[in-house]
Structure 1
């Protein structure tokens, strides 16, 4: 369950973000990347936390106008999650496997972002409309 729940959390994240209208959705996700960059400050990796935070701040800034940059920003955070898990410095100090869960969840969100952060609700709605259309009669 510790490996499957983070995938569900990533999907739930994309679903909840689908409630936010575009332009705002992209910018909110850019802010989330910046927050992810700062999540590990004082996280046990010493001075390495500062360049990492600076890197993700730059990526988040670029993400204000680009879903690709937001998706890219999730990937170094995934690597940083793995480092923290291996070193025994989880993102949530009282939840030993929280960094592992984050490392599994982040690529799910990254894939959604790299696809342009589409509204999952809109995709389902559009698919239902397409399936419920009656085929048009063709004359031959």
Structure 2
């Protein structure tokens, strides 16, 4: 459960993003990377290193406004920060000791999705099931799919 739940949370995050249309989806996710970079700041588990990390993720978020690749890089960098915090014993949620561990599993799921270009779930379904989208497109036309010929 310590692995499955974070993966499911990452997938839920990806699915919920289907409700945000482009170009806003990328903007929202760039903001999320910037926010994730500051998530550990109040705990200060890694001391003064927290400040340069926030600056770096802010830069990645800014670059992410124009590129999904930078958003993916930001999530992978946050994964490494999660691991460091987990090993140091300073979890992202102070009253949940394994929260940084879970975050380190969840974040790469989001990063992989960002590296695909941040497609919505419906976009992915259309790409993987092209016949279904073609069938839906012709469903409203008269005699669509009919094999009989009228002359």
> TM-score, normalising length from structure 1?
0.90
Unaligned ranges ≥5, structure 1: none
What SS does the corresponding residue of 2:20 show, helix, strand or coil? coil
For residues 129 and 75 of structure 1, what CA distance do their matches in structure 2 show?
31
- Relative to structure 1, the CA distance from residue 42 to residue 60 in structure 2 (aligned partners, 3 Å threshold; closer, same or farther) is same
For residues 127 and 11 of structure 1, what CA distance do their matches in structure 2 show?
17
The residue number in structure 2 matching 1:59 is 60
What SS does the corresponding residue of 1:18 show, helix, strand or coil? helix
The residue number in structure 1 matching 2:100 is 99
The residue number in structure 2 matching 1:90 is 91
What SS does the corresponding residue of 2:19 show, helix, strand or coil? coil
- Relative to structure 1, the CA distance from residue 121 to residue 87 in structure 2 (aligned partners, 3 Å threshold; closer, same or farther) is same
The CA deviation at 1:136 is 9.9
For residues 31 and 64 of structure 1, what CA distance do their matches in structure 2 show?
8
1:110 aligns to 2:126 (yes or no): no
For residues 136 and 72 of structure 1, what CA distance do their matches in structure 2 show?
49
Unaligned ranges ≥5, structure 2: 136-143
Task: Please say which structure displays the higher CA radius of gyration.
Answer: 2
The CA deviation at 1:122 is 3.1
The CA deviation at 1:78 is 0.2
Aligned Cα RMSD in Å?
A: 2.1
Q: Is the 8 A contact 1:75 1:106 kept in 2?
A: yes
The residue number in structure 2 matching 1:40 is 40
The CA deviation at 1:96 is 0.7
The residue number in structure 1 matching 2:30 is 30
